Amino acid sequence: MLESLGEHAGFIAAAYAITFVVVAGLIIWVRADGKAQMRELDAMKRRGLRRRADAKD
């Protein structure tokens, strides 16, 4: 498929590859960060800590 893109195939492939890496990095970061925060919250709940907002419910 790369050959069909002509003489500048490398540039096109590089542009798409870099975009893919950056976007994938963003998505992975946002998912991992979310998981880490959830873990942190769960750990605190297990230790018996509660949010004031939860206490009111």
Partner 1 sequence: MGLMDLANPTRFMAVSQRILPWLWGLAAAFLIAGLYMSFFLAPQDYQQGNTVRIMFIHVPAAWLAMMGYSMIALSSIGTLVWRHPLADVSARAAAPIGAAFTFIALVTGSLWGKPMWGAWWVWDARLTSVLVLFLMYLGLIALWRAFDDPARGARIVAVLALVGAVNLPIIKFSVEWWNTLHQPASVFRMGGPTIHPTILWPLLVMAFGATLLFLAIHLAAMRNEVLRRRVRAMQITAARAVATTGTEDGEPELA
- Minimum gap (Å) between residue 17 Cβ and partner 1: 10
Residue from 34, 40, 30 nearest 51 by CA: 40
Site string for partner 1, 11-40 (x = CB under 8 A): xx-xxx-xx--xx-xxx--xx-xx--xx-x
- Burial of residue 22 (number of CB atoms within 10 Å: 0-12, 13-18, 19+): exposed
- Minimum gap (Å) between residue 52 Cβ and partner 1: 7
Q: DSSP state, 51?
A: -
**Residues in touch with partner 1 (CB under 8 A):** 5-9, 11-12, 14-16, 18-19, 22-23, 25-27, 30-31, 33-34, 37-38, 40-41, 44, 47-53, 55
